[in-house]
Amino acid sequence: MRPELGVCYYPEHWPEDIWPNDAARMREAGITYVRIGEFAWSRLEPQPGQFQFGWLDRAIDILVSAGLKVVLGTPTATPPRWMLDRFPDMLAVDAQGSPRKFGSRRHYCFSHVGYRETCMEITERLGERYGRDARITAWQIDNEYGCHDTTLSYSEAARHGFRAWLAQRYGSIEALNQAWGNVFWSMEYLDFDAIDLPNLTVTQPNPSHELAFRRFSSDQVVAFNQSQVQALRKATDAPLIHNYMGRVLEFDHFAVGADLDIASWDSYPIGFLSDRIEASPDHKLAYLQQGDPDMQAFHHDLYRAVGRGRWWVMEQQPGPVNWAPYNPAPLPGMVRLWTWEAIAHGAEVVSYFRWRQAPFAQEQMHAGLLRPNDEEAPGLAETRQVSAELPLFAEMEQTRAEVALLFDYPSSWAWATLPQGADFDYFRLVFSVYRALRRAGLSVDILPSDQADVSGYKLILAPGLAGAHPTLHDAMRQSNGVKIYGPRSFTVTSELTIPPGKIPMMEDLAVEILWSESLPPDHHRPVRGGGAIRHWMETLAAESDVLFESETGMPVLVGNDQNWYLGGWPDETLWDRILDLAARKADLHLRPLPEGLRLRRAGDLEFAFNYNAHDVHWNDADLEPCAVAAWRDGKRIL
């Protein structure tokens, strides 16, 4: 695999006479891919039924003649204003019951059948015109499903769709009442049409009801995506891609990804540090202009799994963004570092957002590779630098890591529905494990929990996995690796009720959870030998060995041979100790890293990334702030 660079470009924002120069400058900077079209519906179909493709034909001609490969987006994240005249009820509705109005983007409800069909139609039109055009190297469907909190919609269309979905899933209303436990508080229904969406209830709705709605909402995203996949598969053999976002969990990305050829995601490290990571104020200050050292890598590894090995960064932050509470600029070198880190994790393409900063509308303060006046912004020099370095890595190879971390979207919905404590968040838990693995210098493969091929991994972690899929159970039984489950693993059924009888996975582990406590942020339960439990603590009855216990003598980590169960949420010190113990058992070599330094192994290459704003000494090398280094078979090549 030969990594390449790309850029997001909006020809419809600029006069045509500057397109040729833009294209030439992209090539001069070493960019080979350009993504266009994903928000251009009002220019492709200015009036209902009146299509105008001429400008897009000319833009594609110019870009391709300059030597660029085009990724064409379907424009369905931005329905034009006239669409509302056709479908006044197509707007998504928030949990408070208010429609999400026209005037920005993503204002559609996934369940609106008329809108979905219209999206298929415009996609078919684009497919007919460009599907056999070899100059279109790939297609992007829609843009960032779920971004701006748009997966769950409480509209009339959703209500209608939900009822049909429930009837299909449960078959009879009695079965639904039974599965949800609706005898509680006299919530029993007489027919499916009596069931409403789980918002605006006086107090908490039945968690089974809410979880069903979350599953339904995820299925709606999958179906929406599928309808465009169908339209495009008829027209083209080019790969189909979607660009996912960071820490969006409301739909099952593995299910959407199963219908596509390549996964991609939009990486905004500094924006994410500011608006979607739990971290201490000191941590946020230390990485203010670099982004969190693990957030990008986590998503690279996650979306590599979603894309079954094929993935891109479709949008890479090139300078300050506009949408976070505060928007500092990247330190010099960070745009290059982020790019190399993505490539080290297997990205086939890293594409910057965007070519030139827009002088108008919502993102006028968002940097591009060029300033609005056409002068170069700092990100462009770093793009050039990466492109000059790329030939060093002409053939990048990805090898299986030694450690696997299971990730499961339905578990995230289960715990979002029934958190039991304000700080129990699935992403946060899994990310705390990922961070610990990376502090120990490990490369990690993230795997979907229901079809995980766990063979060959020395260590497999399954934190917070709500239920055990039978195929996973079998796969785990056959694996020779050390397995660490918990906290809160296998504690609920797929309906979000407590499982009756014995839980097979827990029987294997010879452990039972007697009860669970959630803990407020400042409360710690110290563990003998160092570290503590935070947020979540289980009282375990275990016939297996106690590997760690609390200072009051409660079992914290228990296990038989290679099957371990963790009955709480460890702080950093405790995670480090657990990994140390697991590494000894699993014959895994840990390399505890200096703060802010991260490694990634790719084939015979090893990369190091210095996320610090200061020098770090590592592997006989002095790494400057924001430095990237790479060694092949022990010899430094970057």
- Point out the residues that are catalytic: 144, 315
Which residue stretches of 352-503 are H helix? 378-389, 409-417, 426-439, 470-478
With helix as H, strand as E and coil as C, how does 56-95 read? HHHHHHHHHHCCCEEEEECCCCCCCCHHHHHCCCCECECC
Site string for ligand GAL, 190-209 (x = CB under 6 A): --------------------
Sign of CA dihedral 518, 522, 526, 531: positive
Residues 360-399 that bind ligand GAL (CB under 6 A): 363, 366
Interhelix angle 207-235/173-180, rounded to 10 degrees, is: 120
For residue 196, count other CB atoms closer than 10 A to its CB.
Answer: 16
Minimum distance from residue 69 beta carbon to ligand GAL (Å): 20
Minimum distance from residue 364 beta carbon to ligand GAL (Å): 12
Token pair of 638 as six digits = 């970057």
d(CA 489, CA 516): 12
Residue from 139, 353, 424, 564 binding ligand GAL (CB under 6 A): 353
Is the Cβ of residue 147 or residue 288 nearer to ligand GAL in the bound state? 147
Is the Cβ of residue 10 or residue 565 nearer to ligand GAL in the bound state? 10
Minimum distance from residue 481 beta carbon to ligand GAL (Å): 37
For residue 128, give every residue at least 6 positions away whose Cβ sits within 8 Å of its Cβ, in sequence order, or none. Answer: 235
Q: Which of these ranges, 13-21, 142-150, 333-341, 581-589, lies near ligand GAL under the rule CB under 6 A?
A: 142-150
**Binding status of residue 321 toward ligand GAL by CB under 6 A:** yes
At residue 247, φ and ψ (nearest 5 deg) are: 50, 45
Burial of 620 (C-beta count, 10 Å sphere; 0-12/13-18/19+): exposed
Q: Which of these ranges, 81-89, 140-148, 278-286, 402-410, lies near ligand GAL under the rule CB under 6 A?
A: 140-148
Burial of 279 (C-beta count, 10 Å sphere; 0-12/13-18/19+): middle
Entry field: residues in the chain? 638
Residue from 22, 144, 210, 389 binding ligand GAL (CB under 6 A): 144
Minimum distance from residue 353 beta carbon to ligand GAL (Å): 5
**Binding status of residue 147 toward ligand GAL by CB under 6 A:** yes
Minimum distance from residue 313 beta carbon to ligand GAL (Å): 12
Minimum distance from residue 384 beta carbon to ligand GAL (Å): 22
Is the Cβ of residue 4 or residue 144 nearer to ligand GAL in the bound state? 144
Site string for ligand GAL, 239-268 (x = CB under 6 A): ---------------------------x-x
Is the Cβ of residue 70 or residue 505 nearer to ligand GAL in the bound state? 70
Token pair of 5 as six digits = 């660079």
Is the Cβ of residue 268 or residue 609 nearer to ligand GAL in the bound state? 268
Minimum distance from residue 335 beta carbon to ligand GAL (Å): 14
What is the SS3 assignment for 513? Answer: strand
Minimum distance from residue 136 beta carbon to ligand GAL (Å): 20
Is the Cβ of residue 357 or residue 610 nearer to ligand GAL in the bound state? 357
Is the Cβ of residue 323 or residue 631 nearer to ligand GAL in the bound state? 323
Contact 538, 567 (CB under 8 A): yes
**Binding status of residue 71 toward ligand GAL by CB under 6 A:** no
Minimum distance from residue 8 beta carbon to ligand GAL (Å): 7
Residue among 102, 12, 120, 9 nearest 63 (CA): 9
What is the SS3 assignment for 617? Answer: strand
Is the Cβ of residue 366 or residue 600 nearer to ligand GAL in the bound state? 366
Helix (H) or strand (E) holding 467: none
At residue 267, φ and ψ (nearest 5 deg) are: -105, 110
Is the Cβ of residue 248 or residue 437 nearer to ligand GAL in the bound state? 248
- CB-side exposure of 443: number of CA atoms within 13 Å? 20
**Binding status of residue 274 toward ligand GAL by CB under 6 A:** no
Contact 30, 383 (CB under 8 A): yes
Q: Which of these ranges, 141-149, 339-347, 489-497, 555-563, lies near ligand GAL under the rule CB under 6 A?
A: 141-149
**Binding status of residue 143 toward ligand GAL by CB under 6 A:** yes
Contact 413, 427 (CB under 8 A): no
**How many chain residues bind ligand GAL (CB under 6 A)?**
11
Site string for ligand GAL, 280-319 (x = CB under 6 A): -----------------------------------x----
Torsion of CA 590, 591, 596, 601, to 10 degrees: -80
d(CA 379, CA 351): 12
Query: Which stretches of the chain bind ligand GAL, using CB under 6 A?
Result: 143-144, 147, 266, 268, 315, 321, 323, 353, 363, 366
